[in-house]
Copies of this chain bind each other. A is one copy, B any other.
């Protein structure tokens, strides 16, 4: 039987490569990007008839709000290439521009979506980005679950990270509620933010305590991320209604209720943290203030501060007074981080002045750069080790 099978197998294996093409549609047999030993990175793109090919990405000096770009050089077999300077360890995004038309790298299957745009990504190891890569360490579980949210009238999707050992222990774990920005959803922190990798790596290194990270969808009109709801495969948009009008804050108890009834968690202030980026920082600011005594740890990453001008919600009444109540209810860490060139820098400065005026304690972290995921991953990596101590 085995000999017979061997012959059949040869006949059988040959067309695999071809048949696979049905869904695969080929691809170039070259490597791009290639991370060179000296931490330069070489990009390659096959376009024998193109007149001009450029690579554009966040590792090049930005051109205003556009990422910088650099011309690639045409070599043999129509392969255009470009090698960067030595790059600091980071997670980078890029694309190509072929005769004026934007393109992806067909040799790189690693892509992330940010709102309506998909870019290739790569990691330069050896420093900061070691926190973002998958290492040989114990890995937590990442689950996409659905929960009832009576306050929004929706059944909603949430991404939940549980740390290594959660399933086999009997411990109650603390929970970090981690909120995305405008245009984001329950996929943002896990994909763009590399949350699972950051938590796995910090926990394995003994730098963070094992914790659950709950990543809800902060757009109260959405049941789930684009493509994950019955709205189908629509084009995502940055602006959604009701994002900063109080409805997120008002409905947030549905999230806590779900998490605390579904997981073995510490159901007290000492076991709860809330943090978010941009709009999610705004939500974290107002949720933690509106529900004083709920969170011992608050993280505002490049936060927006002010509600929608039309917001009538009582969530935004008496902000100063409720901040003082929050302080009196007690918290262990109120952490504010922003980049020097962030367009929200002034608003955050004003908010810090307010806190100073009210004599409310907080920790301030100012980084380089602006309103970008690079900073939010850094902030998460710094914030998490301070939690639940």
Q: Are B146 and A139 in contact (CB under 8 A)?
A: yes
**How far is the CB of A194 from the nearest CB of chain B, in Å?**
11
Residues in B with CB closer than 8 Å to A17 are 238
Q: Which residue of B lies closest to A101 (CB)?
A: B47
User: Does A151 lie at the interface of the complex (its beta carbon under 8 Å from any beta carbon of B)?
Assistant: no
Contact with B along A131-146 (1 / 0, CB 8 A): 0011110110111111
**How far is the CB of A224 from the nearest CB of chain B, in Å?**
8
Q: Are B371 and A19 in contact (CB under 8 A)?
A: yes
Number of interface residues of A (CB under 8 A): 113
**How far is the CB of A389 from the nearest CB of chain B, in Å?**
27
**How far is the CB of A226 from the nearest CB of chain B, in Å?**
7
Pick from B9, B117, B145, B347: contact of A26, CB below 8 A: B117
Contact with B along A167-209 (1 / 0, CB 8 A): 1000000000000001100000000100000000000000000
CA distance A232 to B194 in the complex (A): 13
8 A–B pairs (Cβ distance < 8 Å), ordered by A: A1-B318, A2-B307, A6-B306, A23-B119, A24-B116, A98-B103, A141-B145, A146-B164
Residues of chain A touching chain B, judged by Cβ–Cβ distance below 8 Å, are 1-2, 4-10, 12, 15-27, 31, 46-50, 56, 58, 62, 65-67, 93, 95, 98-104, 106-111, 113-119, 121-123, 125, 133-136, 138-139, 141-146, 155, 157, 164, 167, 182-183, 192, 224, 226-230, 232-233, 235-236, 238, 244, 262, 304-311, 316, 318-320, 343-344, 347, 350, 370-373
